[in-house]
Amino acid sequence: MTTIDHDVHQAWGRIATWFEGRLRTAPVRAAADENRLRAAEAAIGVSFPADLVAWWTLHRVSADYWIPQSFAPVDLEKALETREIWLLVAEQEGSSVDENGEPEPRFLPSFLPIAMDPGGDGLIVDLRPGDSYGAVFLWDHETWVLGVELWGSVTAMLQDVEAAVRSGTPALLRHASLGGAAQPCVAVVDDAGDLAWEVAERR
């Protein structure tokens, strides 16, 4: 196991341990095997970051809405299906420019969803070469504006959630410090055993 694999597995393991006895039993996201992952890479035409590979191969990941801001992990097949739908929508919209002559945002082939919220928005990993390779962004299915990354990597996402649930500190502090629109939030478990993320009080 590489250091990256260890970091991903350790962060999820600590999150899962914290969930036990606090959250209601939830369905689990199916893990992907290495052959299926390599086939997906070939189909998309990109190499997945090591921590994204480790993410997809994690077993018994809760498929409930535990990722800020209320996102539930999806399995690789659902991710690929959602990607194809969003690419089709982008194709149907065609190319367009705004009043300043700048290209309007579109879902790109190098974006891959990893989680969805109840309203149809997604968390995507950016697979384009460059500084944002491997970063996790919010994909708003209505505005299509990528905005500021939520986390610099899947590992950073898991470690942020781990720190937030175990210590009670806010998640998304780095995103906010970069000027992102999502506000820092804290994990709250209700009487039914559901986890919600509430905007952190400013001090």
Q: Which domain holds residue 38?
A: 3-199
Residues 6+ apart with CB under 8 A from 120: 141
Query: How many domains would you assign to the chain?
Result: 1
- CATH number, position 70: 3.40.1580.10
pLDDT single digits (tens) 49-59: 999 999 999 99
8 alpha carbon, distance to own chain's centre: 13
pLDDT single digits (tens) 59-111: 999 999 999 999 999 999 999 999 999 999 988 876 666 666 666 678 999 99
Give bridge partners of residue 61 from the DSSP assignment. 29
Q: Return the CA Rg of the chain.
A: 17
Q: CA 165, CA 178: separation in Å to the nearest integer? A: 22
How many C-beta neighbours within 10 Å does residue 48 have? 20
Cα 124–80–155 angle (5° rounding)? 40
Is the pLDDT higher at 114 or at 143?
A: 114
pLDDT single digits (tens) 125-135: 999 999 999 99
* Entry pTM: 0.93
Phi, psi angles (nearest 5°) of residue 34: -60, -40
